[in-house]
Amino acid sequence: MTLNVESANPVVKSLLEGSAPRPACVAAARGILPLPQNDLFEVLVRFTESGDKELSENAANTLSSMDDNLFETSIRSEEIAESVLSYVARRDGLSRPVYEGLLVNPKTSASVVETLARSTTSGEVLELISQNQQLLIQSPSIIDAIISNPHRSAVAARRASETKKEFFEKERGAQQIADELRAQGKEAAAEFLERSELDNSGLTADEALFLAAMIEVPDSETDDSWLALEYLEEIYAETVAEREMIADKIIGEFRSEDMDIPSERISIINRIMKMGMKDRARMAMKGDREARNILIRDPNRLIVQAVVNNPRITEQEIEKIAAMRAIPEEVLRQIANNRQWSRLYPVAHNLVRNPRTPIANVLGILSRLQLRDLAALSKNRNVSDAVRRQALRLSQARTGK
């Protein structure tokens, strides 16, 4: 048995430390050992966590058969063990007075209330929790627990949401979040928020903070002058509906590649697509690998070009991009003209097999291909006739045919 016995009763200590006779332990697990009610609860709860199957099963059955009035009396006592408070928070289906007692007990910690808010199936209990605005302000994770609980009532959800908006979102704009990030040493994320227009995008403070966490490149490493960001929104005006369609397109591409796209990635895509084009371009140039992996699928070629111009992009990513059929020709031409990338054989091989790569670039690469790849390309119906013919000529020349 584990230590940390909260009761001062020596009998409880001997039971939980394993020094008590076996018959006494069994009697306690069955609830027939004469102990004060609070002490008995502590023993029973701790026995349910025991590796001793007989004790744990008997204790669980005893607790299940106990009258709720006994729970209510003990749960309101400041002498009750914290382990019992935690047990009640995890147990569903007790009467309202029991949970009321749990919530008014000054010994009940915020973490125990959060456990109750996440696990209960009672909308009425969630309403009780939501009434304590001071507790919600002190422990905002309880707010999230209420809002995320599918059994929340409309009243509980409204109270929690209003508290969250009033105390954690109302005055917390992009600049305040940026200041907080800078204080944490996250300069790149702070710069992104300061230059972005997320306050006008409909993103919540939490969503803006989530997106900022994906930024890894500081301003000092990027040159976005070629993007003409100040004119981007005017040249490529988008409606909210159009951005939603882009999000659906990107999600569809991931599903076609991976069959099963995690819900977390879908959430990230939807958050990114709430941003205007200007902020998406900034994220493309400054974002992490996940941001790049999403934005490379944006239908706007400038966003895709910004991804390729991200200073942290890897050779493995370029190799994958060179094979993507939806990449604009201008971007494939940029990759082909980049000496560092085009000298990588996997990149060059993917470029010549991509039907969207400009023919002039393909013809310049063909002579560098290995014989077996030339032979395969000469039979590849996905590339143009001109590329197939040139691949055939080169392969025949090498074999002396």
- Residue 177: pLDDT band (50, 70, 90) is confident
pLDDT confidence tier of residue 2, bands split at 50, 70 and 90: very low
Could you give the number of structural domains in the chain? Answer: 3
* Residue 35, pLDDT above cutoff 60: yes
Mean pLDDT along residues 372-389: 92
Q: Are residues 276 and 223 in the same domain?
A: yes
pLDDT, position 146: 96
Residue 281 shares a structural domain with residue 343: no
pLDDT of residue 179: 80
Clarify whether residues 220 and 296 are in a common domain. yes
Longest dimension (CA), the chain: 100
Select from 326, 279, 284 the least CA-distant residue to 306: 284
Q: Mark whether 163 and 225 lie in a shared domain.
A: no
Tell me if 277 is assigned to some domain.
Answer: yes
Q: How far apart are the first and last CA of the chain?
A: 83
Determine phi and psi for 40, rounding to 5 degrees.
Answer: -65, -40
Please state the rounded mean pLDDT for residues 131-137.
Answer: 91
Are 297 and 376 part of one and the same domain?
no
The pTM of the full predicted model, rounded to 2 decimals, is 0.57
Q: What is the mean pLDDT of the segment spanning 164-183?
A: 72
Q: How confident is the model at residue 259 (pLDDT cuts 50, 70, 90)?
A: low
| Per-residue pLDDT at 323 exceeds 70 | yes
> 18 lies in a domain?
yes
What confidence tier does 59 reach under pLDDT thresholds 50, 70, 90?
Answer: very high
Domain boundary residue, one of 313, 346, 366:
313
Looking at 10-19, 54-63, 184-193, 200-209, which range is the least confident one? 200-209
User: Does 285 share its domain with 392?
Assistant: no
Spatial separation of the C-alpha atoms in residues 28 and 55, rounded to whole Å: 9
Output the pLDDT for position 172: 55
> What proportion of the chain, given as a percentage, has pLDDT over 90?
72
Per-residue pLDDT at 319 exceeds 60: yes
**Do residues 111 and 97 touch, judged by C-beta distance below 8 A?**
no
Beta carbons of 244 and 273 less than 8 angstroms apart: yes
Do 197 and 116 belong together in one domain? no
Domain boundary among 313, 341, 365: 313
Q: Which residue has the higher pLDDT, 202 or 107?
A: 107
Whether residue 233 is predicted with pLDDT greater than 90 in this model: the reply is: no
> What would the mean pLDDT of 45-71 be, rounded to a whole number?
94
User: Residues 205, 155: one domain?
Assistant: no
Examine the domain organization and report whether 248 and 136 are in the same domain.
Answer: no
Q: SS3 breakdown of the chain: % helix, strand, coil, rounded to 5?
A: 70, 0, 30
Residue 304 placed within a domain? yes
pLDDT surpasses 50 at 131: yes
Q: Which of 116, 144, 169 is the last residue of a domain?
A: 169
**Which pLDDT does position 287 carry in this prediction?**
94
Read off the amino acid at residue 203: L
Q: Is residue 152 a part of any domain in this protein?
A: yes
DSSP conformation letters of 280-301: HHHHHHHB-HHHHHHHTT-SSH
Q: Are 182 and 307 found together in one domain?
A: yes
The mean pLDDT of 330-344, rounded to a whole number, is 94
Assess contact for 53 and 92: CB atoms under 8 A: no
On whether residue 226 sits in a domain, the answer given is: yes
Q: Do 163 and 209 belong to one domain?
A: no
Q: What is the mean pLDDT of the segment spanning 212-236?
A: 83
Per-residue pLDDT tens for 148-168?
Answer: 999 999 999 999 988 887 777
pLDDT tier for residue 401 given thresholds of 50, 70 and 90: low
Report yes or no on 2 lying in a domain.
no
Do 22 and 82 belong to one domain? yes
Domain-located, residue 348: yes
pLDDT at residue 339 above 50?
yes
Domain carrying residue 204: 172-313
